[in-house]
Homo-oligomer: A and B are copies of this chain.
């Protein structure tokens, strides 16, 4: 940690800060510059983080040198973690994982038909919401447990694993029973009690980045889950909020190389939500894979006119089939498989 003092800081102020640092059994190193003095602190910064050093008289700025996330950091863990999703499926290795399915589970028949369809095209995980976070209280809120049962039924028929969103801290037992991967949605990325709850589970967690959260926030949220004992955390970039409105969100493609550089956790791209419109989805999916993502999670629907949510951004089954063919070629071009 570096503490930059104001030009006007007095000796007394500096001494007070040095005393505080020593009280915490840390070692200060002072550099007196032409304009300003900087105090470097040697030792575990975490101790000092509980002290609001910015408020000490004479302090201009405090700069972290160590990263605040530890367990998910790549610093001491140079390989991407390969996380087991199911019997024969891992994520974070050479193989790219494709998760596909409807926004919401609408009814059993449609779900099964879609599950078969995406499986044939090459998906290995089925996505679908049973509990839906909807902007309007008047919109369809999901089938609840019934939806989870249909997902389980689809798994039984097709062998696809199931990823589905959990929104409520009280629902963990349900998800333990029905889901293979628990999704935490973007709107709940900083719902810390929910993070702690899934941190107690053994199920892999797909953590979506909040639409206004920095990559640092994102990794801190992952650290919440990880530090509770659940090390199977998968990060999902799904677009951030910017001033641009021609797409629903702005896919932060730069987050892929940044995450690959900062953390050992696998990274998945959701091209559907940032696209907002079906015609933009394939380009974003291809970009994500080319940039180095370990997987994608994409919405597919066979009759968008009847979709109860996010119809405009769902790929039609034949578009998905084409996309898979293209992704396979790109995966190969970059030395991966799909």
Contacts and interface: CB of A to CB of B under 8 A. Distances in A.
A278 B52 CA distance: 13
B33 A65 contact: yes
25 contacts: A31-B31, A33-B43, A35-B65, A50-B308, A52-B305, A54-B311, A63-B63, A134-B192, A135-B220, A167-B193, A168-B169, A211-B212, A214-B244, A214-B245, A214-B246, A215-B246, A244-B252, A244-B255, A245-B245, A246-B255, A253-B287, A257-B283, A287-B291, A290-B290, A330-B330
Interface string A158-202: 000000000111100000000000000001101111001000000
Contacts of A240: 212, 242-244, 250
Interface in A226-269: 227-228, 240-247, 250-258, 260-262
A289 B49 CA distance: 34
Given A4-B65, A33-B42, A246-B258, 20 more contacts: A34-B42, A36-B65, A50-B139, A51-B305, A52-B307, A55-B304, A55-B312, A136-B220, A137-B220, A167-B193, A168-B193, A188-B190, A211-B212, A212-B241, A242-B250, A254-B274, A257-B279, A257-B280, A283-B292, A330-B330
Given A4-B65, A55-B312, A191 B188 contact: yes
In this complex, the member of A56, A136, A217 whose beta carbon has the largest number of chain B beta carbons within 10 angstroms is A136
Interface string A279-303: 1101110111111100000000000
A317 interface: no
Given A242-B243, A254-B284, A330-B333, A38 B55 contact: no
A227 B141 CA distance: 15
Q: How often does this chain occur in the complex, in copies?
A: 4
A244 B254 contact: yes
A161 to B, nearest CB: 26
Contact of A40 (B31, B260, B311): B31
Contacts of A217: 135
Contacts of A326: 333-334
Nearest 9 pairs between A and B by C-beta? A212-B212, A52-B311, A290-B290, A31-B40, A257-B283, A287-B287, A329-B333, A187-B190, A55-B304
Contacts of A138: 46, 49, 68, 227
A26 B67 CA distance: 29
Nearest to A274: B254
A109 interface: no
A38 B65 contact: yes
A13 to B, nearest CB: 12
A150 interface: no
A240 B247 CA distance: 14
